[in-house]
Amino acid sequence: MLELDNVSKSFWTGSQRKVILEGASLRVTRGRSIGILAPNGTGKTTLIRMMAGLEKPDAGDIRRNCRVSFPLGFMGGVVKKISAMENARYIARLYGLDPDYVESFCRWLCDLGEYFDQPLGTYSQGMKARFTFSLMLALDFDLYLIDEGMPSSTDVGFNRRAGDILQDRLRTTTIVIVSHQPKTLAKFAREAAVMLNGQLRHFDSLDEAKQLYDYETQT
C-alpha cells in the first residue's frame, strides 16, 4: 500500500553532505501500523514528507497504492488569510466530501469558539495544530502520517477527543508514526523500523526495534 524502494535522500549543509536515506526500502501494508524510531536531527520530518509526496527522493521510488494523508500538523494545504470554516469547506470540496460535514466535524473537534470564523493568520501555533489535526481526521484516508516533530496542542480536552478518534480509526486504517521515543510509538503500532545512518531496518515487533535503537544511540 505504501512502499519505499531503494530510496536515497541527502542535503548539502554548506560544509558536508547530510544523509537522510541511502538506498533504503520499506513496505507498509494495509492494517499493519508501523512506528519508525529515529533520533532527533536525522530527518524524521523529511521522511514523512517524502511518504506524503511533499518532497521527492534523490533516487529510488515511493509507491502509494492508497489514500495517504498529509502529515499531522502540515500547514501547507491551508490558507492563512481565510478562516478555519472557509478552509474546511474548501478542502472538503477538493476531496469530494460534504462541506457541511467537514466544517461541523472540525468546528466540534477544534472547539475554538469564535476563532473558528477568523483568519488562520490570527491563530497561535497550538490553535493551528488543533485545526489541521481536526481537518486530517475529518478526511477519509487509508493511511495516516504522524510526525512527532509537528506542533502539538496543550489543550487536554482536545487531545483526549482527538486521541479517542485516532484510536478508533486504527480499526480500519493504517498509521505510520515517526518518533525518537519508543513509548510514543507503542500507543499506535506493534511493529517498527529504526532509521539510523541512512538505513531503515524493519522489525516485527517494537521491542526488537527498541533493542537496536537503544544500543546504537546509547553507545
The residues, any chain, with a CB within 8 Å of residue 175's CB and separated by 6 or more, are 33, 34, 143, 144, 145, 146, 166, 169, 188, 189
Bridge partner list, 21: 9
Nearest 5°: phi and psi at 63?
Answer: -105, 130
CB-count exposure of residue 99 (10 Å: 0-12, 13-18, 19+):
middle
Per-residue pLDDT of 187-216, as tens digits, reads: 888 899 999 999 999 999 999 999 999 888
Dihedral pair phi/psi, residue 56, rounded to 5°? -100, 145
pTM: 0.83
Which residues, 6 or more positions from 24, have their beta carbon under 8 angstroms from its beta carbon?
A: 4, 6, 7, 8, 60, 198, 199, 200
* CB 98, CB 155: distance < 8 Å: no
Determine the 3-state secondary structure of 36 from DSSP.
strand
Mean pLDDT, the chain, rounded, equals 89
pLDDT band for position 117 (50/70/90)? very high
- Phi/psi-derived region of residue 122, left when phi > 0, alpha when psi is between -120 and 50, beta in every other case: alpha
C-alpha cell at 182: 519508543
Q: Using one digit for the tens of pLDDT, what is the confidence trace for 138-180?
A: 988 899 998 875 555 667 888 888 888 888 877 888 999 999 9
